[in-house]
Amino acid sequence: MSGDVFLAYHPLYDGRGFSPLTRSWGRYREARALFAKLGLDRWITTIEPPLARIDELTLAHPPHFIERVRRLDAMGTGPFDTPDTVAWPGVFDRARAAVGATMEAVRRITQGEAIHVFNPGGGLHHAFAERARGFCIFNDLAIAVRSLSQAGFEKVAVIDIDGHHGDGTQEILYDHGALHISMHQYDGRFFPGSGSVDETGWGAGHGLNLNIPLPRHTGEEAYLDAFRSIVPTAIRAYSPDVILLNFGVDGHHDDPLVKLRLGIRTYRFLAIACHELAHEVANGRLIVTGSGGYDPDVVSRCWSVLIATLTGQLPDVPALSTRLTLDAPSREATSRAILDALGRDDAWPQPFGCLLDRQVPTSDPKAAAIVGATIHRIINEVLPLRLTRHDASNAIRPCFPGLPSN
């Protein structure tokens, strides 16, 4: 199930980034240095992608918007659509580099040259069709989905685990027919303010836009409960040809922007689970984008866990079976047991012990109760729209401990 990973990496990643948090611009260099320290670079095939072409950008953005970005680049200053996202000389090519790397991943996947491709500079999920915001100019995820559809891969699933809602991806794909899952912090006020359970898509996309909104201080156990109760069921029911995993790691408890209180154990679980799902339903085809994450140490450790998992260099945890990882939580298979197994020293053989968090994040019991109610609502109100199997022999009936499971 594991093997070499293609790394789509443009030299422009080493320069200025889109975020005003300048320290975050060094995350790409730090991550590659850690890959080398851990010996992971031997299992990585690095490719330098071309900048995205204009005809590729127009898969999700109208020409007048693309021209506006080019014009602001030439001016070298000024905001786009929110004050946090500003123009600077070179921003147009930097944005094209992010999209170009994801499009290179699409080409490698569709041509059968790779099954796992990682673009650390992709995942610009706040970019709308005609708005640049939230540190995102062009939406490479939406462009990739439409490009894959044109190439004959009509069923594409996006799993977005960034701590912020993928509002731009949702807007562009709302009636497309792709499956869009977003797990994110949400209270109606936290940026971007969207991402409620009620936003379920329309037209061809009705029932395929799946938001899993989570409160502040959700913590690792409740987060795993939400993922395990909902995501495998939705992915299996939809049965995608390709999975796009937006591996934003700003939900980590040391990140400055998001307050979900997740840890390295969470991101190792997510890497394992999404890798297993890709092999179970999509012949292994998995495109991963880096998205959010603003502490370079956290980002480099989480991305190293991802690469080590995809390449098989971080060995399987003996106590974790595929059933335990991907089945809904039960009294016999709790998320606490998964976290305990992932926290054991023998789950992190050398040289990977350096990836462990120095401190385990805490959770809020009130937040966990909110998560439980959200899970129950999604299972009973959202999944039945399009994402449950109707034949009794193959039905998947996830349940959440302590709540009714109709």
Helix ranges (DSSP H) in 181-295: 220-238, 264-281
CB 165 within 8 A of CB 211: yes
Active-site option among 116, 125, 126, 376: 126
| Cα–Cα separations (whole angstroms), residue 61 to 123, 168, 201, 208, 287 | 16, 11, 19, 22, 21
Alpha helix (H) residue ranges in 157-260: 167-173, 220-238
CA distance 338 to 265: 9
Return the number of other C-beta atoms located less than 10 Å from residue 236's C-beta: 18
The kind and range of the H/E element at 29 are: helix 27-37
Q: What is the largest CA-CA distance in the chain?
A: 62
Distance of CA 308 to the CA centre of its chain: 17
Is 126 an active-site residue? yes
Distance, CA of 164 to CA of 184 (rounded, Å): 5
Are 261 and 219 within 8 A, CB to CB?
Answer: yes
Token couple for 356: 């462990």
Catalytic residues: 126
